[in-house]
Amino acid sequence: MGIRDERTLGAMAQIPRQLFVPEELRELADADRPLPIGFGQTISQPYIVAFMTEELRLSGRERVLEIGTGSGYQTAILALLAQEVYSVEIVEQLSMQAAEILLGSMHLGNVHLRVGDGRSGWSERAPFERIIVTAAPASIPEPLVEQLAPGGRMVIPVGPDPAVQQLLLYCAGSEGVGTMTELLPVRFVPLRGDSPITT
C-alpha cells in the first residue's frame, strides 16, 4: 500500500519532520514510527500522515479542519496542499509550540490554530470541504458530520479500544446521506472529552 499521490509525496519531502520532534529524539525523526511529543501525546508515524493526507484528495482549493494539532507536523503538510487549514488542539502548550514553528518560523499564513475541544469542530469557520482527525473517538462526533460540506471527505480513526481502531473515510453526500469506508486498522491516542487542559 505505497503512497502514490505526487502532491502528497512532494509536501512530505518539503517538511522536515525533525522540526516537530523533541530535541532529544531528533536522530529518530526519520524513522517510520510515532514518537512522544510530551503531555502523553505522539507525533504520528510518517506513513500514516501520508496515507491520511492522500485519502483527503486535496486539490489545493479546500478549507480543511484538523482535530489534534499535536506537534503541527500534519498541519504543515496540509498547509502546502490546501487553501486554508483550521486546526484545533486541546492541550494549550502543544498548540503554542506548534504555533511557534508553523507561524513563527515557517510563516504559514493559511494556518489557523485554536485551543479547544475538537469534538465540537470549529463552527464559526464551517463548512469544511475536508476534515482530518488525528486522535480516536469511540464514534464520529456529530458536529464534525454537520460541519462537513456537501461532497466533502473526512478521515477519522474510530474505536473505543486502542487495539481495535479503524481508520474511516466518511464521504458526505450532496443530500445529507454519507457513506463510510473502512481504510486501515490503526492505533491513535484517544480523543479526549474534557475541557482544555493547561497543565
- 119 counts as binding ligand SAH under rule CB under 6 A: yes
* Span interacting with ligand SAH, options 24-32, 77-85, 89-97, 149-157, rule CB under 6 A: 89-97
Options 53, 74, 97, 147; binder of ligand SAH; rule CB under 6 A: 74
- What residues are labeled active site? 44
Nearest approach in angstroms of CB 59 to ligand SAH is 22
**CA-CA distance, 86 to 131, in Å (whole number)?**
9
The helix (H) or strand (E) run that includes residue 50 is helix 46-56
Count the neighbouring beta carbons within 10 Å of the beta carbon of residue 95. 21
Please say whether the beta carbons of 77 and 145 come within 8 A. no
- 121 counts as binding ligand SAH under rule CB under 6 A: no
Enter the C-alpha cell of residue 130.
475536508
**CA-CA distance, 126 to 145, in Å (whole number)?**
11
Enter the C-alpha cell of residue 140.
464520529
* Span interacting with ligand SAH, options 70-78, 104-112, 157-165, 173-181, rule CB under 6 A: 70-78
Q: List residues binding ligand SAH (CB under 6 A).
A: 37, 41-44, 67-68, 70-71, 73-74, 88-91, 94, 117-119, 134-135, 189, 191-192
